[in-house]
Amino acid sequence: MPEEAKWYVVHTYSGYENKVASNLEKTVENRQLQSLIQQVLVPTETVTEVKDEKERQVERKIFPGYVLVKMILTDESWYVVRNIRGCTGFVGPSSKPIPLTEEEVARLGVEKHEVEVSYKVGDSVKIVDGSLEGFVGTVESIDKEHNRVRVTVSMFGRETPAELELSEVEAIE
């Protein structure tokens, strides 16, 4: 029975995040465990630092001391991850791995879900969810990266802008 891979958080020695991630990727490749351990990630962000009146782009770890691993939890996958040099264990009660929830994964922005929309700027759309459900409006802008759409709705004889999620709006045929 194929189980679906989930994201787990692994605790590492501070400063060893990249080393743990690369060692884990090498071990997975050497033992051919790609079906069990699918992805290893050290979440980073690019920050502009100003030092001595010079701006420079620096990549900074979002969660120092932690590595995210997408895997199917089995005794073998647990053992492999747990025994990587620099890894101190999984995050969870008494080192029992607890997977991240869908909401946590979405909030962390670990997985990008590409949303296909059947409307474009200028189209008339119907709002199908939320407090404005049933209203019809015109698309002003679409922000796929943040899963948002800006719609102008005519309410009480006045044009009112509303920002909604892409899934709350559908094109009118």
pLDDT tens-place string over residues 72-86: 998 898 999 999 999
Output the six-digit token pair for 128: 């199908």
Quote the distance between the C-alpha of residue 66 and its chain's center: 15
> Residue 165 in contact with residue 149, Cβ under 8 Å?
yes
Give the pLDDT confidence score for residue 24 in this predicted structure. Answer: 94
Q: Is the pLDDT of residue 1 over 50?
A: no
Instruction: Specify the higher pLDDT residue, 110 or 70.
Output: 70
> Residue 73 in contact with residue 20, Cβ under 8 Å?
no
Quote the CA–CA distance of 12 and 22 in Å, as a whole number. 13
Helix 75-82 / helix 17-31 crossing angle, nearest 10 deg: 140
Q: Which of 1-5, 58-62, 164-168 has the lowest mean pLDDT?
A: 1-5
Report, as an integer, the average pLDDT of 109-114: 60
β-bridge pairing 136-143 and 124-127: antiparallel
SS3 of residue 36 by DSSP: coil
> Residue 17 in contact with residue 61, Cβ under 8 Å?
yes
* Mean pLDDT across the chain: 86
Give the pLDDT confidence score for residue 146 in this predicted structure. Answer: 72
CA contacts within 13 A on the Cβ side of 35 = 5
Contacts for 100 with CB less than 8 Å, ≥ 6 apart: 6, 7, 8, 9, 68, 108, 110
Class of domain 124-171: mainly beta
Class of domain 6-108: alpha beta
Give the pLDDT confidence score for residue 166 in this predicted structure. Answer: 81
Domain boundaries, the chain: 6-108, 124-171
Quote the CA–CA distance of 173 and 160 in Å, as a whole number. 23
Instruction: Read off the pTM.
Output: 0.61
Give the pLDDT confidence score for residue 26 in this predicted structure. Answer: 95
Q: How confident is the model at residue 172 (pLDDT cuts 50, 70, 90)?
A: confident
SS3 of residue 133 by DSSP: coil
